[in-house]
Amino acid sequence: MRFWEAVCLGLIGVPALADPGTVVVVGGALEDDNADVYRAMIRAMPEDARNVVIIPAASGIIGRSVPRATKAFVAHGVDPARIVTAHVAMADDPDTPDVDESRWNMGGSDPAEIAKIEKAGLIWMLGGDQLRIMAALVKPDGSDTPMLAAMRKRLEQGAVIGGTSAGAAVMGEHMIGCGSPDIALTGAVSRDFRDCDGKEEDEGSVPLVLGRGLGFLPGIVFDQHFSQRARLTRLVRAVACIEGEAVTGIGVDEDTAFVFDIGHEAGVPVGRGTITVIDPSEGHRSCDNAVMENVRFARFAAAKE
């Protein structure tokens, strides 16, 4: 099924199927009181697996981001005793002098941390830097760490995998590492994530850098903070330049989630903003100047309870 059709099916409410799990892609800046998004995640959890595992790998402020995420899940009905943090990270939080989180850099291969994933009903990846997530969960040769393999298995068994901001960027088969929207349409395109090092996108001169994501949703590239940071040009160029027979771009606004039921092959936007879908499957695309013909484009408002 083409992804465009999957989105539309979700919007008209075809009944969900059981077995495989759900992927929840949040565009960042998720407010703690956004009941629609939190309920969508919690309701999708298997009845026999109610543990929430927080993966803080992207964050550089783990001492603040993990407690905030925990508090939000508790506020929406999760038993605090069922919320655990997977010790997998790449950067130390200077505000936690008693803990050096950079020592968690091998957490993706630690049996004790993998055991947390194996019991999870919801695996939640925090925001920060998506390249840290990739470094934490993917081996240098491009293969899965044992933790990532365990995450894939849990998804197959019905669990939810969600992420916000950087945690959203990694969800698709393809990934935007960085890139300034100001120059995205006509600037250089790189396939080397090292071109993102030490650069701020708001400088207006950062090249669009494309690469592989974690691949929970094949054929997709996500962009987050979408409307708020005017990233339409960036997503258009990414869709035009990603190599492969089929690729769909999905931009997700802040405080908004794209909830995709894998068993159902259908997705729906939830929360307070919109999602934008760019589908070139029935047209032509070229990386040079992001030329595309006969491309489907749509914005869908998030569903509210």
For the annotated catalytic residues, the residue numbers are 165, 201, 225
C-alpha distance from residue 50 to each of 17, 46, 117, 289 (Å): 19, 7, 12, 47
Q: What is the DSSP string of 25-40?
A: EE-S---TT-HHHHHH
Instruction: Report how far apart, in Å, the C-alpha atoms of 198 and of each of 55, 206, 228 are.
Output: 23, 10, 22
How far apart are alpha carbons 168 and 159 in whole angstroms? 17
What string of H, E and C letters represents the secondary structure of 121-185? EEEEECCCCHHHHHHHHECCCCCECHHHHHHHHHHHCCCEEEEECHHHHCCEEEEEEECCHHHCC
CB 75 within 8 A of CB 42: no
Interatomic CA distance for residues 86 and 239, integer angstroms: 33
- Give the side-chain half-sphere CA count within 13 A for 295: 22
Task: Compute the distance between CA of residue 106 and CA of residue 249 in angstroms, rounded to an integer.
Answer: 32
Cβ partners under 8 Å of residue 67, min gap 6: none
- Non-local CB neighbours of 141 within 8 Å, separated by 6+ positions: none
